[in-house]
Structure 1
Amino acid sequence: MKLPGEFLDKMRMLLGNEEYQLFLESYNKPRYYGLRVNTLKVSVDKFLNISPFKLRPVPWTKEGFYYPEEENPGKHPYYHAGLYYIQEPSAMFPGTILQASPGERILDLCAAPGGKTVQIAAAMRGEGIIVSNDISSQRIKALVKNIELCGVKNAVVTNESPEVLAVKFKGFFDKILVDAPCSGEGMFRKDESAARSWEKYKSSKCAAIQREILESADIMLREGGYLIYSTCTFSPEENEIIIAEFIDKHSEYETVKIPNKNGVEPGRTDWCGGRKEIANAARLWPHKLEGEGHFTALLKKKGKDETSCLINNCIKKTNKRNGENNSQYNNKLQGILEIYRQFEEENLNIRLEGNFELRGNYLYVTPGNLPDMSGIKVIKPGLLVGSFRENRFEPSHSFVISLKKEDVKRTIDFKADSREIASYLKGETIMEIGMKGLTAVCVDGFTIGWAKQTGEYLKNLYPSGWRKMV
């Protein structure tokens, strides 16, 4: 592949001739392909027992595995059931270092297309709040789809600039991931278009944006919280130097040591004036391990370890929508919930609990204890349960993906290699006799979508925009 000459000159200067040759040779090797098991849907052990792929573990992520390119797991029914997420192996590293726990409040500030959000959400096991934000209105669509595909229940998706979010979320989050927009040098082997775009996204331009993002992240992180900064570039100006400058400006932060194992190397102190604390960061090099280029730094904000969320900032949002007063809204919500509960009694074996919110004709279950979100562009306030039309409830696709087979009264289960599941994913009608009513279609015991059983055949309810055309 053809790499920018200016980039090569810079890397030779940074690495020295001997290491530069090893670095350059890595571009003659094929890239690595990875998937990460989605433990919201299936355990790692169970997935390995049913997986048709030739997998070997990614050493820094216990849910991560390499797979041969020719196997193409993105076309397998298990992918459409949300059992795993396709992700470049090195990109799994920052989400692992974040060490999310159930009940925490976490912000993925530059989240699209969503790989790190769903990794964090799996570690949270549906408990707590994850706000998944991206400033790009184009990229937000992929973010929402991946969150829905993986059955994430506790994610709020926003489409805002970091500085706007900072006004609402002052001191709110326990942990913040800044997977910063960058010059993308670490992705050249994976994506040749990144190499062609390098001149457009110079380090100096990216570094200015990264500084602004970190300033907003600081405002939103509580005392005692953790800030994870990552990029997929080699440039010191976007990595070691950014972190050194941030610590100089914010003395309340300290770096936390990231273990150097499995080929992961420390941050380069010689590229930022000899700052010893920068060695606590991590470098993933394509000539040192099986993955692309990444940088990750873990920072702790000194202070009290208990939450420092401001009281006024944690008041629940008002139930006012589209000019309605609270009484009107609450009455409307109560009526809608009665219709939903009837649907639930007829079709499910569980009772859904949580903070219900109505947006137009759409019913959501949202995470509790969020600040007032007025003025924020909220794309997805939580789990979309379904919509209402003429006093009838229609469950969403994301809802069924979030359910287990045993949660639904009427199910039909097909093998992954069956003709029926292939037809279903194409949106075709399936000739199958069964009990009339709404039915969860499953693949080897995992929900993959809705269908309506007429008694003689299954009317396909798989979303048209998700259907496989091949």
Structure 2
Amino acid sequence: MRSRIYDAILKKRSVNEADPLWLSQVQKNVPGLYSAHNGRHFHALAIIPFFASKSTLMEFPISWTERLTAQLGAEAEQLLTAMEDEAVTSVRLNPAKGADLTFFEKVPWHPNGYYLEERPVFTLDPMFHAGAYYVQEASSMFLREALVQSANLTAPLTVLDLCAAPGGKSTLLLSELSADSLLLANEIVPARVPALRHNLTKWGFPNYMISNHHPEDLSALEVFFDVIVVDAPCSGEGLFRKDSRAIGEWSPEHAFQCAVRQQNIMESAIPLLKPGGVLIYSTCTFNPDENEKNVAQWLEKYPLELIPLKVPESWGIKSGRYGYHFYPHRLKGEGFFLASLRNTETGHIRHKAKQINGLTKLNKSLVPTVQKWISKANDLVLFRKGNDDLVGIPENLMEQTSIIANALKKRSVGIKLGALKGGKLVPSHELSQSLVLSDDVAKMELPLEDALLFLKKEEFKVPPGSSTGWNLITYKGLGLGWVKNLQNRVNNYLPNEFRIKMDLPK
């Protein structure tokens, strides 16, 4: 088996993209073959074959392999062999932004999922920054199939993604829900919220809110959600070959603690589900304590029933009594488990909509100033937040938005459109990537080299004939951010936290 470090070196990948363990092993075992170059790349000094069994470099915990053998029998050896291979790279296209990857191999269970032949440097693709696709592990994309078979996605639904960061499941949900549905993307850990917000901003859909609460804090929204997705924090066994840190963090005690935490999360989540509502539970582990045993307990304790899913045998997914297992030796994807459950209770609770605290309706005289920035197809109710900030809430989602906004303290409401300064709109970065943005705004379409310079916040060539004032920077028609074109200079309004920090290729 040719080692991945050999491949990485031939492709001149940067050191920070390689596994330090592999680098140290190569330097130790093959002295003189590789040397540092500019402190950033390792280059082959001689192109000679170098083969190594990855098993000599990756050591799995003995207690884990023993449990896996007891769990899977003869199949455990096949799984362990597969865990020695490279993790596959896959992406899911944004259906609203029109990227084309039809020349790549498709993920069987998702119409917009594709496998890549190798992992590129996504940072150097403006389409990635524009939200044209999301880099998502293929097995996780099965959420769509579970949704399609479990819920009526054409109906107006109120959906909760309870453990949402960094946003893979939330962007998938938004792609499948109707425009009359509202997603609440909740993240428990405050430090993970910025990544979630950034990914949802790039995705561009207007029908979501973000909150930062522990599950028990959502109790005011009891019997409120039609669909709840719980992609639970877990022991990460399914990611061992993708992230070597997961191996170092694993222990039987940690796995046990994860199972307890999952039980606590679900104890808070289940009461939020409407009668007849759907709850989809998933993990990225093989551990039955976190998967089947948990589901079995919830079926006993709560008014829930399993929703059977039709899964073609050719997909390689293993159907179990309590859910669906994804094993790397059976399919192209990482370890994953999913169960779809339905609330069998009857009855309902009526939640009353109220005026949203902290927002005041925009003065009618200022509405035309803002509306020229917004597509006519998008009916937004416009609000001031504080003195200057403007937000827009889809009119058809006002009731559900207000109920959630008044039930939670740490939440964002609506699309941030910008700020009013001197009676004019200073557009927000969020608006630059939103699907509500008008097609009539002035644009600068840039080629690859200049688009990357814009994203790095360095000087780029302004296209001849560009309008003065605000311009949307686009690459292949998709928005990246704003500039203000003045007579003697161009001001770049890309937020500093989103700029490219790595060196650009020469």
TM interval, shorter chain, is 0.7 to 0.9
Corresponding position of 1:318: 355
- Counterpart amino acid of 1:154? N
Preserved CA contact (<8 Å) 2:138 2:333: yes
Preserved CA contact (<8 Å) 1:156 1:378: no
Corresponding position of 1:354: 380
Corresponding position of 2:89: 33
User: What is the SS of the residue equivalent to 1:47?
Assistant: coil
CA distance in 2 between partners of 1:109 and 1:287 (Å)? 30
CA distance in 2 between partners of 1:349 and 1:259 (Å)? 40
Corresponding position of 1:14: 71
Corresponding position of 1:257: 308
User: What is the SS of the residue equivalent to 2:131?
Assistant: coil
Preserved CA contact (<8 Å) 1:134 1:140: yes
2:215 paired with 1:153: no
Preserved CA contact (<8 Å) 1:253 1:302: yes
2:362 paired with 1:334: yes
My pick for the range that moved more, 373-382 or 178-187, is: 373-382
Preserved CA contact (<8 Å) 1:405 1:447: no
My pick for the range that moved more, 140-149 or 374-383, is: 374-383
| Cα deviation digits, residues 33-68 of structure 1 (max 9, x gap) | 1110011322xxx5237xxxx621111111111113
CA distance in 2 between partners of 1:320 and 1:30 (Å)? 50
Q: Give how far 1:217 is off.
A: 1.7
CA distance in 2 between partners of 1:406 and 1:353 (Å)? 12
Corresponding position of 1:67: 116
Q: Give how far 1:125 is off.
A: 4.7
Q: Give how far 1:4 is off.
A: 1.2
**Identical columns (%):** 30
Corresponding position of 1:275: none
CA distance in 2 between partners of 1:200 and 1:227 (Å)? 27
CA distance in 1 between partners of 2:384 and 2:279 (Å)? 33
Preserved CA contact (<8 Å) 2:378 2:436: no
Corresponding position of 2:128: 79
Q: Give how far 1:364 is off.
A: 2.0
| Cα deviation digits, residues 408-462 of structure 1 (max 9, x gap) | 33112223x3x32122111134442422221111111122211212256543222
2:264 paired with 1:212: yes
Corresponding position of 1:273: none
Preserved CA contact (<8 Å) 2:375 2:436: no
User: What is the SS of the residue equivalent to 1:407?
Assistant: coil
Q: Which of the numbers 241, 248, 252 marks the counterpart of 2:300?
A: 248
CA distance in 1 between partners of 2:201 and 2:446 (Å)? 22
| Cα deviation digits, residues 58-116 of structure 1 (max 9, x gap) | 11111111113343334301111110001111121224312372521110011111100
Corresponding position of 2:173: 120
CA distance in 1 between partners of 2:385 and 2:88 (Å)? 42
Which runs of 5 or more residues in structure 2 are unaligned?
1-57
My pick for the range that moved more, 178-187 or 389-398, is: 389-398
| Cα deviation digits, residues 191-233 of structure 1 (max 9, x gap) | 0101100128622211111112212221111111111000001
Q: Give how far 1:392 is off.
A: 4.1
Structure 1 segments of 4+ aligned residues over 6 angstroms from their partners: none
CA distance in 2 between partners of 1:196 and 1:235 (Å)? 16
CA distance in 2 between partners of 1:457 and 1:350 (Å)? 32
Q: Which of the numbers 277, 290, 304 marks the counterpart of 1:225?
A: 277
CA distance in 2 between partners of 1:431 and 1:192 (Å)? 42
Q: Which of the numbers 227, 244, 250 marks the counterpart of 1:175?
A: 227
Q: Give how far 1:6 is off.
A: 1.2
Q: Give how far 1:341 is off.
A: 2.9
**Aligned-pair Cα RMSD in Å:** 2.3
- Counterpart amino acid of 1:422? L
- Counterpart amino acid of 2:79? F
Relative to 1, partners in 2 of residues 1:375 and 1:222: Cα closer, same or farther, differing over 3 Å? closer
Q: Which of the numbers 431, 439, 450 marks the counterpart of 1:407?
A: 439
Relative to 1, partners in 2 of residues 1:309 and 1:38: Cα closer, same or farther, differing over 3 Å? farther
2:141 paired with 1:92: yes
Which has the higher relative contact order, 1 or 2, with Cα contacts under 8 A spaced 6 or more apart? Answer: 1
- Counterpart amino acid of 1:158? S
2:299 paired with 1:299: no
Preserved CA contact (<8 Å) 1:340 1:393: no
| Cα deviation digits, residues 375-394 of structure 1 (max 9, x gap) | 62334222211223454422
CA distance in 1 between partners of 2:126 and 2:370 (Å)? 28
> Could you say which structure has the larger radius of gyration?
2
Q: Which of the numbers 159, 173, 188 marks the counterpart of 1:106?
A: 159
The TM-score, its normalising length taken from structure 1, stands at 0.85
Q: Give how far 1:343 is off.
A: 4.2
CA distance in 1 between partners of 2:96 and 2:410 (Å)? 24
CA distance in 2 between partners of 1:404 and 1:316 (Å)? 25
Aligned residue pairs total 431
| Cα deviation digits, residues 139-171 of structure 1 (max 9, x gap) | 111111110111121111110011111x22111
CA distance in 1 between partners of 2:367 and 2:429 (Å)? 16
Corresponding position of 2:4: none
Relative to 1, partners in 2 of residues 1:253 and 1:405: Cα closer, same or farther, differing over 3 Å? closer
- Counterpart amino acid of 1:135? I
Q: Which of the numbers 55, 58, 62 marks the counterpart of 1:5?
A: 62
Preserved CA contact (<8 Å) 2:159 2:183: yes
Preserved CA contact (<8 Å) 2:91 2:114: yes
Q: Which of the numbers 174, 192, 196 marks the counterpart of 1:139?
A: 192
Corresponding position of 1:436: 468
Preserved CA contact (<8 Å) 1:144 1:380: no
2:392 paired with 1:365: yes
Corresponding position of 1:272: none
